Copies of this chain bind each other. A is one copy, B any other.
Amino acid sequence: MLLSKSFIPILKNNPSEAKIKSHQLMLRVGMIKQASAGIYSWLPLGFKVMKKIEAIVRQEQNKIGAQEILMPTIQSSEIWKESGRYDDYGEEMLRIKDRQNREMLYGPTNEEQVTEIFRSSFKSYKSLPQLLYHIQWKFRDEIRPRFGIMRGREFYMKDAYSFDVTDEEAFYSYNKFFLSYLRTFKRLSLTAIPMAADTGPIGGNLSHEFIILADTGESKIFTDKRIFDLTSEGTNLEKSSLEEMRKKYEQFYSVTDEKFNKDEFEKMVLEENRLITKGIEVGHIFYFGDKYSKAMDTAVDLPGGKKDFVKMGSYGIGVSRLVGAIIEAKYDDKNEIMKWPLSVAPYDIALIPMINKNDNSALEKANNINSVLIKNNIEAIIDDTDENYSSKIKKMNLIGAPYQIVIGKKSEGDLLEFKEADGETQNLSLDKIIKLITKQKAPN
């Protein structure tokens, strides 16, 4: 892609209204544009990153056997009255009257709607477990939207729901999502730690938030720092393997502030291992048993002829928020260098030819390199403007392709000036560069 043909409206300076670095970068480099308070349009650069995150989230949901559906954004108030949340939810719910004066709302979450789908389709324990998810826009009418898409009003979320007949089976479903979340965040190059958390307006008594460390985070966390060394590696989808994984994580104290207990913390965690810091919530999972199924009369036949309300959990990942969270984790705002993880980078590599008025040879060389890259499934952005070296590098550092090739007059022979966005220049052949990137791109 030629930069001159791309709709990437870069600002010279940081916009003054942005207080945190993800909001600054996203406005600065034209990833988003505010439409109204807490509501954003996604411009091509931001859109590309969000779509790549969405694809990874989707793949990891499919891998645990969850099936994708798509529920509408506008819901009827009736099901919310059934569950009792229509009154409880308060002003964050965007309430709407249609032309027939019916009470509707813009879904802030989908427990009711998915329960309604479930109860009209499934009657027997034989069809369980069911894991259903969708990736859809949500609206929460925050009183004070802030930090760009990190706490916007209209946001893009993956929410999944599990349906089982017993608590034991339901915990098994819960653990599958626990694993899929660890895998998802790992593919996004994020270290997201599961923390025991409060269930809030969703309800229930078991819940984990997945949190990445960031000074600008709004969640306060208390943890045994050894939890950061854990991985989900070696865990498979067998019940026992998942239980092992849960135990491994839960041996270390790790909670958000609503769950914090000073005595417990100090008793369980040696002083040298204590970490009290801030983080960003990127995922949240809940087990709430029959809270909704009971209120909405959603039962299935059990073996033997009895009926029971199904046991449910729900599992959310903030897809749009993750764009900001990755920036918070990876953006070096001092040096103004963004290096996207290759798995979600808008471009794999930036080609930076030095163009003079009377000499297009570097641009031609860049175009030739690009043809070879395309054949190897590597997506490049070419800065074909005639700006000077330092302003080109500055722009490309903000756009954030993880790799760069500078093509100048000195570039002769087969060796290219290749560097990682935040690294040192090396002279490598195109062939070596392709091998290096292809290897990095292979899914882990």
Contact = CB atoms under 8 A, between A and B. Distances in A.
Interface of A: 5-7, 9, 30, 33, 35-37, 39-44, 47, 50, 65, 67-76, 78, 91-92, 94, 96, 98-100, 102, 104, 106, 113, 116-117, 120-121, 130, 132, 137, 139, 141, 143, 153-154
18 contacts: A7-B130, A35-B76, A35-B113, A36-B76, A36-B104, A39-B72, A39-B76, A43-B117, A44-B68, A44-B69, A47-B68, A47-B69, A50-B70, A74-B153, A91-B99, A94-B99, A96-B96, A96-B106
B47 A154 contact: no
A35 B72 contact: yes
A67 B51 CA distance: 14
Given A7-B69, A7-B132, A113 B154 contact: no
B36 A75 contact: yes
A91 B98 CA distance: 9
Nearest to A93: B99
A121 B30 contact: yes
A310 to B, nearest CB: 14
Main SS of chain A's interface residues?
Answer: mixed
Given A91-B99, A96-B94, A99-B143, A41 B69 contact: yes
A242 to B, nearest CB: 19
Which of A6, A68, A120 is most buried by chain B, counting CB atoms within 10 A of its CB? A68
B42 A69 contact: yes
Given A41-B69, A41-B117, 13 more contacts: A7-B67, A7-B69, A7-B130, A36-B78, A36-B104, A39-B72, A44-B68, A44-B69, A47-B68, A50-B70, A73-B73, A94-B96, A98-B153
Contacts of A139: 74
B33 A120 contact: yes
Contact of A72 (B40, B47, B92, B132): B40
